[in-house]
């Protein structure tokens, strides 16, 4: 069975829903950026990841042997959800200095489709933070990078968890 590589970055927006969705997919390998590890602990969600029977690869360096799976046919899809504005900017500008950005680059080089759920998808958003809800005002540059990402070949940008679920249903 071909697997899904699921990368998570340090975004709190959409995090709970993405963790739950990733662990519900039995064929997902989960990759966590350093910031994702920190944020998952802050939001007290580590237990949710541990409930699944999925391999979890926390970032220890900018690469991992599993990245080679995009060339060997191990992975049929890359999902990055949630994706911070920092990660989206790296994807758009070809910077591969983190595990998640490296996954994105190698999926593209291996012609494996990617689905990305950016955390900054609207001009004003209410976002969960530990113990409260905050109002977030994404910058113009962040919104412009989301549009550039959406124009990239073999990349699908979804703007909410419901779109992500629909996209996965059509891909799986």
- H runs (alpha helix) in the chain: 15-24, 34-42, 46-51, 69-72, 85-93, 99-109, 140-150, 161-171
- Check whether 52 has a pLDDT greater than 80: no
The pLDDT tens digits of the residues spanning 67-77 come to 889 999 999 99
Taking only the tens place, the pLDDT of each residue in 130-156 is 888 888 999 999 999 999 999 999 999
CATH of 3-171, one of 3.40.50.300, 3.40.50.2300, 3.40.50.1950, 1.10.1530.10: 3.40.50.1950
Nearest to 155 by CA among 119, 120, 103: 103
Ranking 26-40, 41-55, 156-170 by mean pLDDT, the lowest is 41-55
Q: For the chain, which residues make up each domain, given as ranges?
A: 3-171
54 pLDDT higher than 90: no
Give the span between the Cα atoms of 124 and 141, in whole angstroms. 14
* pTM confidence score: 0.94
pLDDT surpasses 80 at 51: no
pLDDT above 80 (res 1): no
In our burial notation (b when 16+ CB lie closer than 10 A, e otherwise), range 74-104 reads: ebbbbbbbbbbbbbbbbbbeeebebbbbbbb
Residue with tokens 């060997």: 72
């Amino acid at each position: 069975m071909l697997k899904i590589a699921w990368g998570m970055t340090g975004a709190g927006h959409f995090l709970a829903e993405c963790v739950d969705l990733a662990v519900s997919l039995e064929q997902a390998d989960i990759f966590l950026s350093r910031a994702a590890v920190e944020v998952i602990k802050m939001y007290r969600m580590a237990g949710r990841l541990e409930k699944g029977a999925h391999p979890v690869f926390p970032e220890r360096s900018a690469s991992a042997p599993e990245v080679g799976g995009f060339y060997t046919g191990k992975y049929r899809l890359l999902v990055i959800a949630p994706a911070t504005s920092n990660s989206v900017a790296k994807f758009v500008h070809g910077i591969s200095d983190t595990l998640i950005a490296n996954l994105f680059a190698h999926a593209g080089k291996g012609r494996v489709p990617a689905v990305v759920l950016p955390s900054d998808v609207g001009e004003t958003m209410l976002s969960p933070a530990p113990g409260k809800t905050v109002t977030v005002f994404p910058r113009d540059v962040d919104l412009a990078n989301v549009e550039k990402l959406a124009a990239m070949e073999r990349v699908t940008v979804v703007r909410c968890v419901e779109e992500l679920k629909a996209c996965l249903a059509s891909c799986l």
